[in-house]
Chain A
Amino acid sequence: VTAPDAHRAIDAVWRIESARLIAGLARIVGDVGLAEELAQDALVAALEQWPESGVPRNPGAWLMTIGKRRAIDHIRRNQRFERKLEELGRELEAEGEQAPEVEAVLDDDIGDDLLRLVFTACHPVLSTEARVALTLRVVGGLTTEEIARAFLVPESTVAQRIVRAKRTLAAARVPFEVPQGPELVDRLSSVLEVIYLVFNEGYAATAGDDWMRPALCGEALRLGRIVAELVPDEPEVHGLVGLMEIQTSRSTARVGPSGEPVLLLDQDRGRWDQLFIRRGLAALERAEALGGALGPYALQAAIAACHGRARTPEETDWARIAALYEALAQLAPSPVVELNRAVALAMAFGPATGLELVDALTSDSSLEGYHLLPSVRGDLLAKLGRLDEARKEFERAASLTHNERERTLLLERAAVLSRTPP
């Protein structure tokens, strides 16, 4: 085994074990920043010893033992933690003679620690940017450099964000714990928001971007699946995972040969990844099986599932999609959701029904300047044979969009209409 090979193998172990390691150490020292430093010390020890000795049979336990020893050293320097030290010493001693059966029991504790880590990294005392960076770093096991490349910012910016985040957590004396009762739902939505933000950043990547950007979709899915196993009774976690799995299923079909976006209804459904669709549908079923009304993520997953189940665009259950958008609008009222509902209504019950809702939206000031409104309106008008009005709407949409390719498409549609004899 050559040294670079050994280092790559250690990287892989780190990737798998670091979150649990940091989580376990944070429970002991009560500080995520310090826990990460101790975990890094353990990593340094591994980098020194494993190239010679080989990767130990249970590398996670090996790293944890070193980390705990470093924690003891640290606590020793702070004499007032005398009692804590004794406790930890006993814990280490007991673990030395542990039978493998005990590992399963300890596993639950590790799960609890990991969940505490997730909630702490996504704590509302931190800015959204800080939550994202800290979560990817301590839960996702990404390096500062990888996070910087993924978000197209300098490495020093990410490093700063993480340092400040750790300081903020310490200064605010954020306890290392899982929120209980009604607070749990709020705090969980902060966790899910961070994960979906990471996913969307990856989804927005375009051809030619650093590969680390689209890889964010995979990182978000991984985080989502981890949290789903930690809080299996929370339907919205499964909703979010389902949504991300189904969106992932279309990742190759949604980009054309020259990197141009391909709209959902124009995609070659043969290229949709059925494994991810099935995983998404299964996650949605888990959310539904937990009972109660679906939350915003589960509703969006249900909409994505309607498309995922349809083998052809014609098979799409538009009436159900319209109903799901209506439910979504009630939970989180938004003119964009309404516009989507109008499209679904038009597909289900004809362009006139959709146009009624779109016309009502034209007076909504928050959609002023939003190119999709005239674009959708133009499409519905054209279907109703009101070609002159449709052409004007496409021209208006073209003047509003910032995307060059989209502008060309819209102007082409307008041009076709002006050539059509009345």
Chain B
Amino acid sequence: MRFLMVHRVDESQPDAYDPRPETVAAVGRMIGEMTKAGVLLAAEGVLPSSTGARVRSSGGRRTVTDGPFTEAKEVIGGFAMVQVRSKEEAIEWASRFAEAIGDVEVEVRQVAEGP
């Protein structure tokens, strides 16, 4: 089974996208650990919301709102997808990942598998 781990950052914090070198190293080590354990499928971090946009479709009409998303307390900071045996294992990896980043919330969601 696969799980998506999405972490959120508070963009009002100055170090939201500019983490200290020790954080970068810790996250890098964590990515390495997950790769060596054979569980990591993909992981990416994203740029500040000022470079992004929100698209909404409603009643056949689309609305595009450019970032930054100043009204949001937290925005998506990145994701990882893991292939594991249980939700508990996904939670354990997510906890280790969160601890590597520091003060952060990681949302863990199971991927819907077909058919």
Inter-subunit contact B88/A9 (CB<8 Å)? yes
Given contacts A222-B83, A255-B115, contact A275 B39 (CB under 8 A): no
Is A8 an interface residue when CB atoms closer than 8 A count as contact?
A: yes
Name A89-112 residues within 8 Å CB distance of B. Answer: 104, 111
Give the complex CA separation of A255 and B113 in angstroms.
13
Cβ-defined partner of B38 (8 Å) among A8, A57, A223, A257: A223
Is A12 an interface residue when CB atoms closer than 8 A count as contact?
A: yes
Inter-subunit contact A252/B114 (CB<8 Å)? yes
Inter-subunit contact A221/B83 (CB<8 Å)? yes
Inter-subunit contact A9/B92 (CB<8 Å)? yes
Interface size on B, residues (CB 8 A): 23
Given contacts A221-B83, A252-B115, contact A226 B89 (CB under 8 A): no
Name A372-420 residues within 8 Å CB distance of B. Answer: none
Give the complex CA separation of A16 and B91 in angstroms.
12
Is B42 an interface residue when CB atoms closer than 8 A count as contact?
A: yes
Inter-subunit contact B92/A16 (CB<8 Å)? yes
> What distance in Å separates the Cβ of A109 from its nearest Cβ neighbour in chain B?
13
Inter-subunit contact B115/A257 (CB<8 Å)? yes
Inter-subunit contact B37/A16 (CB<8 Å)? yes
For A12, A222, A229, A252, the residue with the greatest tally of chain B CB atoms inside 10 Å of its CB is A12
Give the complex CA separation of A111 and B91 in angstroms.
24
- Closest residue of chain A to B22 (Cβ to Cβ) is A100
A260-282 CB mask vs B (1 if < 8 Å, else 0) is 00000000000100010001000
Q: B residues near A, CB below 8 A?
A: 1, 29, 35-39, 41-42, 81, 83-86, 88-89, 91-93, 99, 113-115
Q: A residues near B, CB below 8 A?
A: 8-9, 11-13, 15-16, 57, 104, 111, 215, 218, 221-226, 229-230, 252, 255, 257, 271, 275, 279
